[in-house]
Structure 1
Amino acid sequence: MREKLQRPVDLARQHGRSTQAIRNYEAAGILPETDRTPSGYRTYTPTHATALAAYLALVPGHGNQTATSIMRAINGYATADALALIDESHAQLLEDRRTLRAVETALRDLEPVPAERGDTFVGPLSRRLGIRPATLRKWEDAGLVQPRRDPRTSYRIYGAADVRDALLTHQLRRGGYLLEQISPVIAQVRSAGGVAPLESMLRDWRARLDARGRAMLTGAAALDAYLACRSAESSATRGDGTEGRTSSSRQTGRTSGSSVTAR
């Protein structure tokens, strides 16, 4: 029995998209190629609807670019490449979680430094951290610490906020993070006026990571449904011997596309 055919507008309405968006998805390789009627109209099947549902489910967890690449790979019969892209997204999410935990640990371990007792010089601070004075100067060049200069001697003077930033930088460096990765954290600490106000930011960060993880699960389920649909369609096509004709009709549609107005 033939699958129920749909017009672009039918597929668009199902997912709250415009008909032009549906055409764009097909042109981008997000949807598999469509057959056309003798008069040039596109016709979509439930497989196309499942593909669109999979793409839209993938976007929240993987982003538009990766979701598009995943769908292109699957529609190009490179499922292993699609799965590798999914693995990379999960690896990035895991790395983001590790970064969050490192920041939480670093902030938790910071000791309050009273403002009136916070001033210190390069030597005492470097000895406290167990690093060379040159390392502190490197951090200064990267904007991670901002000591003021004594107007008479030009010596660097590290205030309470500088000591806090140096301690946080030191702990994150011990966790394996690069200076360019640490810089945004230090900026957040400064803009928040200290460590305490960052608790809300960390909660939001954690919630976003959790939401992304859940979205990846939702996307995986939708993508699995699309893969199952494609597999069933492929088996049915081989069973009734129409695979060659389907391929030929789609090739004809691509070849004649320049002379047929897109509908």
Structure 2
Amino acid sequence: MITLRPSDLAREHGISTQAVRNYERDGFIPPAERTPSGYRIYTEAHAAALRAFLALVPAFGHAAGGRIMNAVNAGDLDDALLVIDRGHHQVLRDRETLAAVRNAVSHLLAEPVPAPDRPAAPAPRTIGELAHRLGVTPATLRNWEGAGILAPARDPATGYRVFQAGDVRDAELAHLLRRGGYPLDHIAAVVRQVRTAGGTEPLAEALEDWRRRLTARGLAMLDASALLSHYLDVLDRARGRRDPE
């Protein structure tokens, strides 16, 4: 059996030996045996555990990665897989949300630009006109306003709601997302981002960055799965449940 020192594990990942000891203390790698003089003795199982944990962090986050390793080291594989399944489910939800928002933004960006010699059609200014344009009821628009999705001004003379071009854009975006089944609080967050970005073009750039980050996380999940699977194989051999290949 090959034995390793804390410095060997630390050097591989560019971390401190204290970090390795902390990971052992927190149960992310198995407890080390000790020499008669008290020095830790690490093995390939510890090295594989550390590789798996450090790969799990960018894939699932530090806390979830720790829970996965705690469960694996305690022999609770189903608990570990449950945390992994939840992480994959969240990424899937993020991808679905991203796709819906990108489709909505693409739709808004594809709105035809009027010719220079023809004035743009006036945007709906009343709640009834906007409701008719979207095919919803005025009560729906009032509900969206209550959820923070819409923030129309009021006519100072009549007190009626006045929907400007930006309000129409927000309503159309909300309508598309609502048809996709997204809850009002999520839609409100997206609309706020559109407003903060100053329009759909900056939001489209932000969504592309979100896509890149989701891709990176998905690839990190693949790497983490391979290293965790290898660690499980090492544990199986160490515990005598599987013959070495």
TM-score (norm 2): 0.89
Q: Does 1:207 align with 2:205?
A: no
CA distance in 1, matches of 2:154, 2:162: 6
CA distance in 2, matches of 1:145, 1:192: 16
Match of 2:96 in 1: 98
Q: Secondary structure at the match of 2:38?
A: coil
Q: Secondary structure at the match of 1:131?
A: coil
The answer (yes or no) to whether the contact 2:105–2:200 under 8 Å persists in 1 is yes
CA distance in 2, matches of 1:130, 1:116: 18
Match of 1:196 in 2: 201
Query: In the TM superposition, what whole-angstrom CA distance separates every residue of 1:115-167 from its partner, at most 9, and x where no partner exists?
Result: 87224111111122222222212211222111111111111100000001011
Match of 1:72 among 66, 70, 73: 70
CA distance in 2, matches of 1:174, 1:206: 22
Structure 1 range deviating more: 219-228 or 88-97: 88-97
Q: Does 1:147 align with 2:152?
A: yes
Task: Report how many aligned residue pairs link the two structures.
Answer: 236
The answer (yes or no) to whether the contact 2:127–2:138 under 8 Å persists in 1 is yes
Match of 1:122 among 127, 151, 167: 127
Match of 2:49 in 1: 51
Match of 1:242 in 2: none
Q: Sequence identity of aligned pairs in percent?
A: 53
CA distance in 2, matches of 1:211, 1:7: 32
CA distance in 2, matches of 1:113, 1:229: 62
Aligned partner letter, 2:221: M
- Ranked by relative contact order (alpha carbons within 8 Å, sequence separation 6 or more), the top structure is 1
Return closer, same or farther for 1:112/1:162 CA change in 2, 3 Å cut-off: farther
> 1:1-263, aligned counterparts within 5 Å?
3-110=1-108, 111=111, 117-235=122-240
CA distance in 2, matches of 1:118, 1:189: 19
CA distance in 2, matches of 1:136, 1:95: 26
Aligned partner letter, 1:34: A
Return closer, same or farther for 1:42/1:168 CA change in 2, 3 Å cut-off: same
Query: In the TM superposition, what whole-angstrom CA distance separates every residue of 1:94-118 from its partner, at most 9, and x where no partner exists?
Result: 1111111111111222336988722
Q: Which runs of 5+ in 1 are unaligned?
A: 239-263
Return closer, same or farther for 1:166/1:237 CA change in 2, 3 Å cut-off: closer
CA distance in 1, matches of 2:16, 2:242: 30
Structure 1 range deviating more: 39-48 or 62-71: 39-48
The Cα of 1:32 is off from its aligned counterpart by 0.8
Q: Which runs of 5+ in 2 are unaligned?
A: 115-119
Return closer, same or farther for 1:236/1:119 CA change in 2, 3 Å cut-off: closer
The answer (yes or no) to whether the contact 2:105–2:204 under 8 Å persists in 1 is no
Q: Secondary structure at the match of 1:77?
A: coil
Aligned partner letter, 2:18: Q
Q: Secondary structure at the match of 2:200?
A: coil
The answer (yes or no) to whether the contact 1:113–1:160 under 8 Å persists in 2 is no
Query: In the TM superposition, what whole-angstrom CA distance separates every residue of 1:206-229 from its partner, at most 9, and x where no partner exists?
Result: 111111111111111111111111
The Cα of 1:237 is off from its aligned counterpart by 11
